[in-house]
C-alpha cells in the first residue's frame, strides 16, 4: 500500500470513528471507566444545596462566611488495545473482513479515551507479540495506532493469547483498561487471563463472521488453514465433517465465554454484519 492510499484510509477511519467517539462514546466511556479517586481542586463560597461536609472551616473562619472544598475526579487512566493480527482475522463473507471491523472498533475506543485525556497503548499479537506501542496521549498518537492497524504485516499467522497477556503483565505495572480484540478461535489462555484480570480492567471483544459458524454443503472443496497455510481437501457433503467443525468452533466460543466470566472480565460479541456501535454502547451503559 502506497503512502497516499494509506493516508486516505487513515483519514476515512478517523472521520468515521472520531465522530462516533465525539457524539456518542465520549460521555459513556467517561461514565464507565472511573478515575483513581478525587483530588482537591479549589475552595469557593458555599451555595444552597452544597454538601455541608465539604465546608472548609479554616477559610470560613477567616472570611466569616461559609466556603467549601471542591474536588475533581483524578482521571489519569491508561487504555491498552490488544489486537489479534493472526491469519484468521483475514476472513469475511460480507462487505468487510474481521480485521477491518477490529480496526474501526479499536479506533473508536482510542478516540473516546483521547477525548477524556487518557493514554492509549497498542499490542499487536499473533503467537508472539508483533508490535508494542507504549501508552501516550494525543490525536497524532492515535493516528499512528490506526496506521499500524491498517498496514502492519505480522511475521506469524498463528495465535497465542496467553503469550500476549503475559507480555501485558510485564509492561503494565499499574492498573489499565484493557480491550482484547480477537476472534478467540483458540484456547489455553484461561489461567493467564485470570491473573491479568486481577490487576487490570479487561474486556474481550470477539469479532466473528457468520460464515465461520458452520461449513455449508458444497461437496469436495479445497480449503486453506489461514493460520498454518496448510491446504486440505474437505468433503463438505459429509454430515460428520460438518458436525465436527461446528463442535470445534462452538467449543472455542464456550471456552472464551467461560474464561472471561470466571476471570470477572467483560464480554462483547460482535458479528461483522452487526452494528458494533450498538454493541459498545450497550456494554458501556450496562457497566456505568
pLDDT for position 28: 67
Q: Where are the domains of the chain?
A: 3-31+76-287, 37-74
Cell representation of residue 175? 492498573
pLDDT for position 46: 87
Residue 232: beta bridge partners?
223
Listed in order, strand segments (DSSP E) in the chain are 37-45, 67-74, 78-84, 119-125, 129-136, 177-182, 201-208, 220-224, 231-235, 266-271
Q: Rounded to an integer, what distance in angstroms lies between the CA atom of residue 44 and that of residue 66?
A: 9
Q: Rounded to an integer, what distance in angstroms lies between the CA atom of residue 1 and that of residue 5?
A: 6
* CATH code of domain 3-31+76-287: 3.40.50.410
Q: Is 206 helix (H, G, I), strand (E, B) or coil?
A: strand
Q: Rounded to an integer, what distance in angstroms lies between the CA atom of residue 149 and that of residue 106?
A: 9
Q: Which pairing describes strands 201-208 and 266-271: parallel, antiparallel, or unpaired?
A: parallel
Q: What is the pLDDT of residues 13-30, one digit of tens each?
A: 777 777 777 666 656 666
Phi-psi region of 201 (alpha: psi -120 to 50; beta: other; left: phi over 0): beta
Q: Which helix (H) or strand (E) holds 241?
A: helix 239-262
pLDDT < 70 stretches in the chain: 1-3, 6, 22-41, 71-75, 89-95, 224, 226-227
Q: Is the overall model pTM greater than 0.85, yes or no?
A: no
Main-chain phi, psi angles of 175, to 5 degrees = -60, 135
Q: What is the pLDDT of residues 106-159, one digit of tens each?
A: 999 998 888 888 899 999 999 999 999 999 998 899 999 999 999 999 999 999
Amino acid at each position: 500500500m502506497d503512502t497516499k492510499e494509506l493516508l486516505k484510509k487513515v483519514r476515512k477511519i478517523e472521520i468515521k470513528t472520531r465522530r462516533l467517539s465525539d457524539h456518542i462514546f465520549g460521555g459513556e466511556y467517561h461514565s464507565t471507566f472511573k478515575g483513581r479517586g478525587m483530588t482537591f481542586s479549589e475552595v469557593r463560597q458555599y451555595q444552597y444545596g452544597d454538601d455541608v461536609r465539604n465546608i472548609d472551616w479554616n477559610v470560613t473562619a477567616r472570611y466569616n462566611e461559609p466556603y467549601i472544598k471542591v474536588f475533581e475526579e483524578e482521571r489519569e487512566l491508561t487504555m491498552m488495545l490488544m489486537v489479534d493480527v493472526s491469519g484468521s482475522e483475514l476472513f469475511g463473507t460480507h462487505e468487510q473482513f474481521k480485521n477491518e471491523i477490529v480496526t474501526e472498533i479499536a479506533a473508536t475506543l482510542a478516540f473516546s479515551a483521547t477525548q477524556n485525556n487518557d493514554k492509549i497503548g497498542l499490542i499487536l499479537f499473533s503467537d508472539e507479540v508483533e508490535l508494542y506501542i507504549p501508552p501516550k496521549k494525543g490525536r497524532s498518537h492515535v493516528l499512528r495506532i490506526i496506521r499500524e492497524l491498517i498496514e502492519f504485516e505480522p511475521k506469524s499467522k498463528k495465535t497465542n493469547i496467553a503469550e500476549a497477556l503475559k507480555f501485558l503483565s510485564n509492561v503494565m505495572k499499574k492498573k489499565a483498561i484493557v480491550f482484547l480484540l480477537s476472534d478467540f478461535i483458540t484456547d489455553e489462555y484461561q489461567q493467564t487471563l485470570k491473573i491479568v484480570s486481577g490487576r487490570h480492567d479487561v474486556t474481550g471483544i470477539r469479532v466473528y463472521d457468520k460464515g465461520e459458524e458452520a461449513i455449508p454443503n458444497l461437496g469436495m472443496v479445497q480449503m486453506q488453514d489461514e493460520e498454518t497455510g496448510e491446504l486440505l481437501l474437505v468433503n463438505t457433503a459429509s454430515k460428520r465433517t460438518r458436525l465436527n467443525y461446528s463442535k470445534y468452533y462452538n467449543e472455542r466460543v464456550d471456552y472464551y465465554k467461560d474464561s472471561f466470566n470466571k476471570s470477572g472480565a467483560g464480554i462483547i460479541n460482535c458479528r461483522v454484519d452487526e452494528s458494533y456501535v450498538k454493541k459498545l454502547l450497550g456494554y458501556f451503559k450496562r457497566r456505568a
